[in-house]
Structure 1
Amino acid sequence: MAKGINYVDVFWFVPNLIGYSRVLLSGVAAYSMYYEHPSVMFISYALSELLDAADGYYARKLGQCSKFGEVLDMVTDRCTTTVLLTYLAHLYPSLALLFCLLISLDISGWYYLSVAFTVAAFPIFVIKNVINVVQLYESAKDLAKLDAAQINRDSSPATAATSAKKSRSKI
């Protein structure tokens, strides 16, 4: 009898591998923005956006939809938008305030954020961001465990094992 998949298998789903590529491309975009390489910035950002369409397609096609993948996609979207708007603020300083407001709007559309509270609680803010790194790791692991359990419940053992092997063989 096949054992099914575990949470580590969820990290290796093809759509999540695409998501990791988007994170890397966002880093390349930010780096190239800082070192003023506009063509590299444009290409890395454009590739990230193209991959944004691909991850959802492959999640559905391969039966590898996961909460972890949804969160990875959402957070990556916020990061790539912030990188782009920051770069535009750098290129067009007279519109920097507008781009900063758009960043705030993009983030606050997903999270409740109070700028005044953040300024007043700066020491707590710093500590919280250190804790966020730990939470990111633990949350990713927990989401992947939930996904693995759900997939194991929804699939026969043979189907779940085959799905996990498919995702690894596509690498």
Structure 2
Amino acid sequence: MTFEEFVAGHGQSLLRLAFVLTGDRHLAEDITQTALADAFRHWGKVTAAGLPDAYVRRMLVNAHLSWRRRRWTTERPAEPIDTAAAGSDPADTVAARDSIRVLLAGLAPRAWTVLVLRYYADMDDAGIAQAMGVSESSVRATASRALAGLRGAAALVDVEEIR
């Protein structure tokens, strides 16, 4: 498989994963581009590993974790709201989504990544461990602590269900 064929077949799924990891469309594009540029540079090594999609996914996760470590600001642009889908009062939906974003932003980068890979990418503990370069028990412990922290914080904030 050539690099161009790989990008044509897996580029959009990598971009979607990056968006879920970052929550920002433009940053997701930057992180995906970084991972794909690194993959292109080392394409021989990537294909020699046998599973290029898993290899590049790990590169994407590492790029995301690297960005989270050097993030210099917590300011984030707001996304426009689809008021037709928001229900009767868009302010309630915005407040609930903001509460959830604040809770998730409070997670450590590794915990955020574990939860995204588990619940968005639908990966099992072994796959997450391989993608992040940690043990399966570390994945389970990180997910357990992150979910317990989110549950406790959500009880304090009284987050409502979002449609």
**Higher alpha-carbon Rg:** 1
- TM interval, shorter chain, is 0.3 to 0.5
Q: Which has the higher contact order (CA 8 A, sep 6+)?
A: 1
TM-score by length of 2: 0.33
TM-score by length of 1: 0.32
